[in-house]
């Protein structure tokens, strides 16, 4: 087992959960007692104590921010008194898989007026008769019990069952409490006494006197601010051990008492409770099945019909597939041979066509090469005779055309002359109708 200390709280995982609440994860440390929670400094909306060894739900300092406590898979058999003073804003409490025995053990939760969600699944108390109605009567503000929404009909039944003197007597009869010894119960507390006890003051003085460095003094200051008293751990460990021993003795005594009671009565009452629990389970099962069939009965029938038709269609197709495969495997060998011969003949024809095209292309290439060779020979012969590159005939024809084109003058169109006969290039006069005159050259123009 691991002691729930300030160091453990500081090293534990802290994160924002999916509902955007700050959560402290203390799962699986096998913590026996809830203590030193003042070290959280009221900085968390949710604390997870799952998978530990806690026996009693108490030990909380004033935590105004805490809204959700997850403490499933523990050994809780008792719930502390005045829980509403320590957790004034508690809304969700999950006590799944614990050891709460009697309906009367749930009475301390009646003072928590802000509690709206409670889970007691897999606790022995859920098998008690009128369990759900009793919890709804004790916690009228509850909205979700065992992860099932509390209906208006259940509230009306609970109010009717526990109404008046007869209902109060019934609640008193079924609200048995576990016979365990709680240290300090029955003693009148001194309401005027405030602050730490004399032993705590003495422990603080001794710790300050034994401090040898400034760092140790600062550590003591932090412990005192978080609500922890130096030296209290040893006393609390001894007290917790004594309480555990007493609880174990009381549990053994309860078991022996229950066995003797069962033997004396003959087990009729316990068998009756078990029978009632079985009857309730059967009724719930019948209600769930009838609700499902009434809501989704037609869909279920349509689905069954579709599955039946699909199976029949598959059975019809399966023999035809077998027959087709058998016919395919028993083909005639001659048809296979004929097909192969036809493929070979087609391949041979294609090869012959390709060979003919290749021969034709080769012959064409040779003819073109021969023509080019003859042209080169003719050019060489003409150049040896002193002829032009293109030949004498072409040169003569071109020269005659050039001569005739040079002797023949093209007629001019009727256009007005740009300048008249009296044009003087020096003065610019007589140059036609244009009135432009060149500017005079001055001193700034150079010269």
Interatomic CA distance for residues 229 and 6, integer angstroms: 12
- Tell me: do 311 and 346 sit in the same domain: no
- Tell me: do 282 and 347 sit in the same domain: no
- Tell me: do 346 and 300 sit in the same domain: no
Identify the pLDDT of residue 447: 47
Interatomic CA distance for residues 124 and 118, integer angstroms: 15
Q: CB-side exposure of 316: number of CA atoms within 13 Å? A: 6
Does some domain include residue 409?
A: no
- CATH number, residue 95: 3.80.10.10
- Tell me: do 133 and 68 sit in the same domain: yes
Nearest to 90 by CA among 99, 98, 100, 82: 82
Pair 420, 432: CB distance under 8 Å? yes
- Tell me: do 308 and 359 sit in the same domain: no
- Tell me: do 132 and 281 sit in the same domain: no
Interatomic CA distance for residues 231 and 235, integer angstroms: 7
Does some domain include residue 5?
A: yes
Does some domain include residue 89?
A: yes
Q: Going residue by residue through the chain (447 aa), what tens digit of pLDDT does each one get?
A: 789 999 999 999 999 999 999 999 999 999 999 999 999 999 999 999 999 999 999 999 999 999 999 999 999 999 999 899 999 999 999 999 999 999 999 999 999 999 999 999 999 999 988 999 999 999 999 999 999 999 999 999 999 988 888 888 887 877 765 555 445 544 444 444 445 667 777 777 777 777 777 777 777 776 666 566 666 655 555 566 666 666 677 667 666 655 555 455 444 544 555 566 566 677 677 667 777 777 777 777 888 888 988 888 888 877 655 555 555 555 677 888 888 899 999 999 999 999 999 999 999 999 999 999 999 998 898 888 876 555 555 545 555 555 555 555 556 666 666 666 666 666 666 655 555 666 666 665 554
Domain boundary among 143, 163, 178: 178
Tokens representing 430? Answer: 């007589």
Pair 423, 432: CB distance under 8 Å? yes
Interatomic CA distance for residues 346 and 403, integer angstroms: 68
Identify the pLDDT of residue 412: 60
3-state DSSP assignment of residue 228: coil
Strand partners, 92: 68, 117
Domains in the chain: how many in total? 3
Does some domain include residue 408?
A: no
Other C-beta atoms lying within 10 Å of the C-beta of residue 338: 11
Q: Which domain holds residue 305?
A: 274-317
- Tell me: do 387 and 279 sit in the same domain: no
- Tell me: do 298 and 353 sit in the same domain: no
Strands of 46-48's sheet, edge to edge?
Answer: 13-16, 22-25, 46-48, 68-70, 92-94, 117-119, 144-145, 148-149
């Amino acid at each position: 087992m691991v002691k729930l200390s300030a160091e453990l709280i500081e090293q534990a995982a802290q994160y924002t959960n999916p509902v955007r609440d700050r959560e402290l994860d203390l799962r699986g440390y096998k913590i026996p007692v809830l203590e030193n929670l003042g070290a959280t400094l009221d900085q968390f909306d949710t604390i997870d104590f799952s998978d530990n060894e806690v026996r009693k739900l108490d030990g909380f300092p004033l935590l105004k921010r805490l809204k959700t406590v997850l403490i499933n898979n523990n050994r809780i058999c008792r719930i502390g008194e005045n829980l509403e003073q320590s957790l004034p804003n508690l809304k969700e409490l999950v006590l799944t898989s614990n050891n709460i025995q009697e309906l009367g053990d749930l009475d301390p939760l009646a003072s928590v007026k802000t509690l709206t969600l409670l889970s007691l699944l897999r606790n022995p108390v859920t098998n008690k008769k009128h369990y759900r109605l009793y919890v709804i009567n004790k916690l009228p503000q509850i909205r979700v019990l065992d992860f099932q929404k509390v209906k208006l009909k259940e509230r009306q039944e609970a109010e009717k069952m526990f109404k008046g003197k007869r209902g109060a007597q019934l609640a008193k009869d079924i609200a048995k409490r576990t016979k365990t010894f709680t240290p300090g119960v029955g003693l009148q507390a001194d309401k005027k006494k405030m602050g730490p006890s004399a032993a705590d003051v003495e422990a603080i003085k001794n710790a300050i006197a034994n401090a040898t460095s400034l760092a140790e003094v600062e550590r003591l200051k932090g412990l005192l601010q978080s609500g922890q008293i130096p030296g209290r751990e040893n006393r609390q460990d001894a007290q917790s051990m004594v309480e555990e021993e007493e609880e174990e003795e009381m549990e053994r005594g309860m078991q022996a008492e229950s066995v003797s009671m069962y033997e004396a009565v003959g087990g009729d009452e316990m068998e009756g409770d078990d029978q009632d629990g079985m009857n309730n389970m059967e009724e719930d099962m019948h209600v769930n099945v009838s609700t499902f069939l009434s809501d989704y009965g037609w869909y279920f029938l349509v689905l069954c019909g579709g599955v039946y038709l699909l199976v029949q269609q598959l059975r019809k197709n399966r023999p035809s597939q077998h027959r087709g495969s058998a016919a395919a495997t028993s083909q005639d060998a001659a048809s296979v041979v004929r097909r192969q011969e036809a493929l070979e003949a087609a391949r041979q024809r294609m090869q012959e066509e390709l060979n003919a095209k290749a021969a034709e292309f080769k012959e064409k290439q040779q003819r073109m090469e021969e023509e080019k060779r003859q042209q080169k020979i003719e050019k060489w012969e003409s150049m040896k005779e002193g002829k032009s590159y293109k030949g004498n005939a072409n040169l003569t024809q071109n020269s005659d055309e050039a001569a005739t084109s040079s002797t023949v003058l093209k007629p001019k169109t009727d256009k007005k002359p740009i300048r008249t006969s009296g044009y003087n290039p020096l003065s610019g006069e007589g140059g036609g109708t244009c009135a432009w005159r060149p500017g005079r050259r001055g001193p700034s123009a150079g010269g």
